[in-house]
Structure 1
Amino acid sequence: MSSSRAVILTHHASRYLQQLSKHWAHKFETEFTPFSSKIALPLGETRLSANDKSLTIEITALKSEDLTVLRNVVQRHIERFAFKETLEFDWQPLS
């Protein structure tokens, strides 16, 4: 397994967290509140946490070779929800 984290500065973190969680809830096992989320995707798990200044995304791929794909899928979805602002994703490995 491989893991990665990105902290994205935005005042709309809770909105994006909830949009992503609701979007995937009909297909995947999803648990969420306005401030935290856990989504079980076929390639691995995504956890999100929101506060008034940032959205933190932690992903864990079941197979190391799927980490980039999983990261890109999550990032593209968040970017679609955030079409009114430009978000910066600086993915860092988790040990």
Structure 2
Amino acid sequence: MSVCVARVPTASASRYLQQLAKHWSHKMEVSFSAEEARIAFPNGAVLDLRADSATLDVVLTVPDDGPDDGPDDGGVARMREVVASHLDRFAFREAPLTFDWRERA
């Protein structure tokens, strides 16, 4: 399992969190408030978001597909891109947002 975290600077974190959660609630299991969201993807990945006045904290947990999969496998990179591109769509006035992705140990 790979866990990636990013702190995204934006004064509109709550708005983007809610827009993303509502957007994906039609296809995935989603729970959210103005400050937090959890989105469960069909592939087993989970996205946790937390908004404050200056940042959107993103925690992406992606299950390994096989015994040789590591943190740099294509599934993790693809999921990072899916999350970033969707958030950028909602943040079109300030996009692209800055995602400082890091692996969490």
Coarse TM-score class (shorter-chain normalised): over 0.9
Output the CA distance in 2 between the equivalents of 1:88 and 1:72.
Answer: 12
Tell me the equivalent position of 1:80: 89
Amino acid at match of 2:26: H
What is the TM-score when the length of structure 2 is the normalising length? Answer: 0.87
Task: State the 1:41 CA deviation.
Answer: 0.7
Q: Which has the higher strand share?
A: 1
The 5 A counterparts of 1:1-95 are: 1-43=1-43, 44-63=45-64, 64=70, 65=73, 66-86=75-95, 87-95=97-105
% same residue: 41
Task: State the 1:26 CA deviation.
Answer: 0.8
Task: State the 1:62 CA deviation.
Answer: 1.2
Which runs of no fewer than 5 residues in structure 1 stay unpaired? none
Q: Which has the higher helix share?
A: 1
Count, aligned residues: 95
Amino acid at match of 2:48: R
Provide the secondary structure at the position in 2 that maps to 1:74: helix
Which runs of no fewer than 5 residues in structure 2 stay unpaired? 65-69
Task: Please give the per-residue CA displacement for 1:15-59, whole angstroms capped at 9, x wherever unaligned.
Answer: 000000000001100000000000001230000000000000100
Let me know the Cα RMSD of the aligned residues: 0.9
Output the CA distance in 2 between the equivalents of 1:79 and 1:26.
Answer: 19
Provide the secondary structure at the position in 1 that maps to 2:86: helix
Q: Which runs of 4+ in 1 moved over 3 A?
A: none
What is the TM-score when the length of structure 1 is the normalising length? Answer: 0.96
Larger Rg: 2
Tell me the equivalent position of 2:67: none
Amino acid at match of 1:22: K
Amino acid at match of 2:58: I
